[in-house]
Chains A and B, each alone.
Chain A
Amino acid sequence: MIELRHVQKHFGDLHVLKDINLKVEKGEVVVLIGPSGSGKSTLCRTINRLETIDSGEILIDGKPLPQEGKELAATRAEIGMVFQSFNLFAHKTILDNVTMGPVEVLHRDRKEAEAEAMELLRRVGVAEQAKKVPAQLSGGQQQRVAIARSLAMHPKAMLFDEPTSALDPEMINEVLDVMVGLAREGMTMVVVTHEMSFARRVSDRVEFMADGQILEEGDPNEFFDHPKTERAREFLESIKGH
């Protein structure tokens, strides 16, 4: 469903993505893990072109990712994105945050969109907050709303860019639980995270990145218990206890 072929990217002199090849099949959950600055967030963001690439190819359902305009917007509408900092629309209510995409982009009837949004908000456990604005919610609640906002578009795949890194520890699980639920329902997911428990429980594959390269990939339990590369061993040592 998502395929990256020989993707290269520089930020000025910095070579942030070095010949990245990655394939994510329908229904797969792939976790990108690695030290900060390894390029994993950048990689995740190239998939819906929030970051452009210098060379290589990105294919969505076998078709090249459009460069701009209506086609790019249409492709983005089909891929959900959840950010580290939630990025809810600060001036809109929780309900309006969730209905904006369906109403504006998919031209759904507002009443129907609201009914479905309430259903989604119930599912992620924040239905009582529907009339509030984002600043009145906790971080964990905001992130669950952000997931509901993405789900309202009926995406065929979802990208998670460090979805729990900005959360207080006691709120991490409420967000992970929602993500685990999604994974079990068969959502195609690319997740940048350090949450080993999440990777072990639901991911099909772990991709370990360092210095802009994918150094190691494979079964999550195998990777966490018996990393093959020295770099991965060092990294796992450093995050132990998380």
Chain B
Amino acid sequence: MSLQQLFSTYGGMYVKAYAATLEMTVVSFVGAMVLALLVTIARVCPISPLRRLGDFYVQVFRNVATISLLIIFYYAFPYLGIVWNEMTCVIVTTILVAASFGSENFMSGINTIGVGQIEAARSLGLSFGQILRQVVIPQALRSAVLPMTNLLVAVMLTTAIGSQVPLNPQELTGLVSYINTMSVGGILPFAVSALLYAGTAFLIGLAGNAIDKRVRILR
């Protein structure tokens, strides 16, 4: 199959698939960041059961195979009466896993702050919540820009698990399987998807570097 044939037959589907990949990437990443922040706050809060719960969360979801989690949500949960559509399953899976890595990124950001600044804030009479908002979170966010950029790329690639459930419209990886089932496409359909993934990752990397340069904290 030539590139021309591929695009004339499947061009429209590629556009839709790329849009689906981007949509799931953005929604998953935003969700993962919010959840990662909550988990991280739990992990540093003064209440020790909450701290342990946060650590436990990270241990579980950092160490689980993403695809098996998706299979549980899509194929097993309906037996429990919980039925989510395909896209929801992909997004929830990606959020849960990415949040554990995101929390680790935030934790290493927090560890760079140093106990001294926190003691200084306590000495001024700031409460735990104020110290988080004023001192810890702003610095953790800024020093997490580069690792979170990597995580965003990883989230995009993770949405390829959507190929394992009947998504409609399909995302980039699922579309390739579809094309190769419908017609003998050879390596070309893979190459097109790979190029779209890699190009997007490249742009994400540029954006991440630019943001990091602007917000980086001088030490």
- List residues of A whose CB falls within 8 A of some B CB: 48, 50, 70, 73-81, 83, 85-91, 100-101, 104-105, 133-136, 146, 149-150, 153
State whether B219 touches A76 (Cβ < 8 A).
no
Q: Report B-chain residues with C-beta under 8 Å of the C-beta of A100.
A: 121, 124, 126, 134
**B93 located at the interface, meaning its Cβ lies under 8 Å from any Cβ of chain A in the complex:** no
Residue in B114, B120, B125, B139 whose beta carbon sits within 8 Å of that of A73 in the complex: B125
Nearest chain A residue, comparing its CB with the CB of B138 = A91
Q: Report A-chain residues with C-beta under 8 Å of the C-beta of B135.
A: 89
State whether B217 touches A50 (Cβ < 8 A).
no
Indicate with 1 or 0, residue by residue over B93-113, a CB within 8 angstroms of chain A CB atoms. Answer: 000000000000000000001
State whether B123 touches A105 (Cβ < 8 A).
no
A170 to chain B, nearest CB (A): 23
Residue in B116, B130, B139 whose beta carbon sits within 8 Å of that of A87 in the complex: B116
A207 to chain B, nearest CB (A): 21
Name the residue in B122, B123, B125, B138 with the highest tally of chain A Cβ atoms < 10 Å from its Cβ. Answer: B123
Indicate with 1 or 0, residue by residue over B119-145, a CB within 8 angstroms of chain A CB atoms. Answer: 111111111001000110011001000
Q: Report A-chain residues with C-beta under 8 Å of the C-beta of B124.
A: 76-77, 100-101, 104-105, 149-150, 153
State whether A101 touches B117 (Cβ < 8 A).
no
Known A-B contacts A77-B125, A90-B217; A104 and B134 likewise in contact (beta carbons under 8 Å): yes
State whether A74 touches B117 (Cβ < 8 A).
no
State whether A48 touches B142 (Cβ < 8 A).
no
Range, interface on chain B: 20 to 34
**B184 located at the interface, meaning its Cβ lies under 8 Å from any Cβ of chain A in the complex:** no
State whether B218 touches A76 (Cβ < 8 A).
no
Closest 9 CB pairs of A and B: A77-B125, A135-B218, A81-B123, A87-B116, A87-B120, A101-B124, A105-B125, A73-B125, A76-B125
B163 to chain A, nearest CB (A): 42
A77 to B120 Cα, complex, angstroms: 11
Q: Report A-chain residues with C-beta under 8 Å of the C-beta of B119.
A: 50, 81, 83, 87
Q: Report B-chain residues with C-beta under 8 Å of the C-beta of A87.
A: 114, 116-117, 119-120
State whether A90 touches B127 (Cβ < 8 A).
no
State whether A90 touches B125 (Cβ < 8 A).
no
Nearest chain A residue, comparing its CB with the CB of B46 = A68
State whether A74 touches B123 (Cβ < 8 A).
no
Q: Report A-chain residues with C-beta under 8 Å of the C-beta of B113.
A: 90
7 A-B pairs whose Cβ atoms sit less than 8 Å apart in the complex: A50-B123, A70-B127, A80-B123, A90-B117, A91-B217, A101-B124, A101-B126
A123 to B117 Cα, complex, angstroms: 23
State whether A101 touches B125 (Cβ < 8 A).
yes
Known A-B contacts A90-B218, A105-B125, A105-B126; A83 and B120 likewise in contact (beta carbons under 8 Å): yes
Residue in B130, B139, B142 whose beta carbon sits within 8 Å of that of A104 in the complex: B130
State whether A50 touches B134 (Cβ < 8 A).
no
Q: Report A-chain residues with C-beta under 8 Å of the C-beta of B122.
A: 50, 73, 76
Q: Report B-chain residues with C-beta under 8 Å of the C-beta of A50.
A: 119, 122-123
A192 to B135 Cα, complex, angstroms: 27
State whether A73 touches B127 (Cβ < 8 A).
yes
A78 to B125 Cα, complex, angstroms: 8
Known A-B contacts A100-B134, A135-B218, A135-B219; A89 and B127 likewise in contact (beta carbons under 8 Å): no
Indicate with 1 or 0, residue by residue over B171-211, a CB within 8 angstroms of chain A CB atoms. Answer: 00000000000000000000000000000000000000000
A91 to B218 Cα, complex, angstroms: 8
B52 to chain A, nearest CB (A): 20
Name the residue in B119, B120, B127, B219 with the highest tally of chain A Cβ atoms < 10 Å from its Cβ. Answer: B120
A153 to B126 Cα, complex, angstroms: 12
